[in-house]
Amino acid sequence: MTESLFLFASIADVPVAVRAAEVEAVVRLGDIVPIPLVQAHVRGLAALRSRVLTVIDMEARIFGKGGLDESASLAIVADIAAHSYGFLVDAVSDICLAPEEAQPVHGRIDPAWAPYVSGVVQREGRSHLLVTLADFAAPPGAGALAA
């Protein structure tokens, strides 16, 4: 039944779903320390409960530029390949069971989203793009880390 449990959030005002099994926590981050000479989507480093998170601006990763809101601090925390990440999102609405499993994408989506979307999850009559957090941590052009 865990395959139907999702975290529902938004990135760039687009509703998204993340499998709950990928999520460790959702937190508000304090200070994010910039890292020199990294790609624009790597916002920096943040401390969380005695550990360091690499903070990824998901909107910047999708659209290839720095996010507009430098004060954004709501993050989905996940461990990927033995490294801790904080993935910035606009908002989180719920974590709950979806009435049905993710479906394939039918129709057109913005080409910027295409490398990150693996399906669509319906919730309360609204479509949410299914994303995998590991895809946002992978080096650009490396393809998905998740199977």
Tell me the CATH number at 75: 2.40.50.180
Number of domains in the chain: 1
Q: 8 is in which domain, residue-wise?
A: 2-133
Do 132 and 22 contact (CB within 8 A), yes or no? yes
Give burial (CB, 10 Å; 0-12/13-18/19+) of 30: exposed
Residue 138 covered by a domain: no
For residue 101, name the pLDDT band (cuts at 50, 70, 90). confident
Q: What is the value of pTM for the model shown? A: 0.89
How large a percentage of the chain has pLDDT more than 90?
Answer: 74
pLDDT score of 11 more than 90? yes
3-state helix, strand, coil in the chain (%, to 5): 15, 45, 40
Residue 140 covered by a domain: no
Determine how β-strand 42-48 pairs with β-strand 51-57.
antiparallel
pLDDT score of 56 more than 80? yes
pLDDT score of 82 more than 60? yes
**Predicted pLDDT at 140:** 73
pLDDT score of 106 more than 70? yes
